[in-house]
Amino acid sequence: MYRAPFWPAPHTDRPVNAYVRVPGSKSMTNRALILAALADGPSTVREPLHSRDSALMAGALSSLGTTIEETADGAWRITPGTLRGPAYVDCGLAGTVMRFLPPVAALADGRVRVDGDPQARNRPMATVINALRLLGARLTGHGLPFEVHGRGRLLGGPVTVDASRSSQFVSGLLLAGARFEQGVSVAHRGKPVPSLPHIGMTVRMLRGAGVDVDDSTPDVWHVRPGPVRAPDTGIEPDLSNAQPFLAAALATGGTVTVPDWPGSTTQAGDAIRGLLGEMGASLARTPEGLAVTGPGRLRGVDADLHAAGELTPTVVALAALADGPSRLRGIAHLRGHGTDRLGALQRELNALGGAVEQTPDGLVVTPRALHAGTWHACNDHRMATAGAILGLVVPGIEVDDITATGRTLPDFPDLWEAMAKG
């Protein structure tokens, strides 16, 4: 693992041809941990992601009384316990922890303090906090840090929220909803919910745990009260973590293969296939996995990324290398992430000679010749990997904090360097 403060991004003058196995999905891992902690018996999560975000989720659930043990093959064996405080939940920068844990904490008996990294205190939290108050929970505070004063039960029932800043507000309520006395009915009112596939993932995993969910009405989700079954869960490869490796094929005109790409999935990261195709890539499913081959020249795109905003840094990096301008829309909500991703992408690319302009709901990227310089990751894993993509074709780029990738992919530097060497 690379530990120096500045990471010289590997540069290559030839096409990258590589086979890259990526670990399990962060989104699926943390949802599976929540459901296992609320289940009616022990269960196993197989091939989970081992990263800072998943470790924070496991630590939070353990502090509330859940037993989580790692098996010899890297799986997690989860045994639910009586949810209780006092407890302290460290969210780090993980949106899934800060939005999914409070509804679980409301079911605990005792006080639960929730906080995170200083940067996390700027992330929107009022929606889930206010929703829990309306559902009968007692909380003090309106954002990180705050406290949940649990009474061992929560009434639940109907609640209306504005989830236009994050789909996680809905998913967090749904994941714990079966354990509320009246279940939960969540209605969204506001601008369209971003990253809707993530709610689809939540619904699918709830049903896999035997929970009765009705999502037949747009922007309304009903979870009926009842037990949560304890199924063994296999975690798919993280398709969002796969995106920078596939992008390497486009940046260099090579071929990158990712094994075990699911034929059907609720992961928002699956949308990268269509975007790479629009930019000129050839994609094929082979016995080895999903193979992506880059074109001779990259095309600019006009793309609405509202449903898959996590792809934005990768697409922006490729757009900066294309043969024409790109317009990315539907991603205003990225200004409210752990870092303002739109502002950060504009600032970092322009500092390297690029031309990026912000619009009310996105970015316009006009390709220009880029030069060497420092790429600031802004403590953001997706920003760090975007700098790595650019470094493949622009010599002399250094990423100031490649360890930011540890949130979701701790082995990224080693995997990336091995890929670049071929």
Domain extent listing, the chain: 7-23+238-421, 26-221
**How far is it, in rounded angstroms, from Cα 397 to Cα 395?**
6
Cite the annotated binding site for phosphoenolpyruvate by residue number.
26, 95, 123, 168, 341, 382
Q: Which residues are catalytic?
A: 310
* pLDDT score of 339: 83
Residue 4 neighbours by CB under 8 Å, 6+ apart: none
**Rounded to 5 degrees, what angle do the CA atoms 305, 309, 314 make?**
95
**How far is it, in rounded angstroms, from Cα 172 to Cα 191?**
19
7-23+238-421: CATH superfamily? Enolpyruvate transferase domain (3.65.10.10)
Q: Nearest Cα to 63, choosing from 113, 27, 26? A: 113
Cite the annotated binding site for 3-phosphoshikimate by residue number.
26-27, 31, 166-168, 195, 310, 337
26-221: CATH superfamily? Enolpyruvate transferase domain (3.65.10.10)
Structure-block tokens of residue 347: 């600032």
For residue 27, the one-letter residue type is: S
* pLDDT score of 375: 98
Structure-block tokens of residue 59: 């630590």
What residues in the chain have per-residue pLDDT under 70? 1-4, 338
**How far is it, in rounded angstroms, from Cα 244 to Cα 240?**
8
- Asked if residue 258 lies in contact with residue 22, where contact means CB atoms within 8 angstroms, the answer is yes
- Asked if residue 219 lies in contact with residue 193, where contact means CB atoms within 8 angstroms, the answer is yes
List of E strands, 259-372: 282-286, 289-293, 302-304, 326-329, 355-359, 362-366
pTM over 0.85: yes
Residue 161 neighbours by CB under 8 Å, 6+ apart: 127, 128, 130, 131, 169, 170, 173, 186, 187, 188, 189
Same fold, 7-23+238-421 and 26-221: yes
* pLDDT score of 338: 67
Cite the annotated binding site by residue number.
26-27, 31, 95, 123, 166-168, 195, 310, 337, 341, 382
* pLDDT score of 333: 92
* pLDDT score of 2: 45
Number of Cβ within a 10 Å radius of residue 67: 13
* pLDDT score of 336: 80
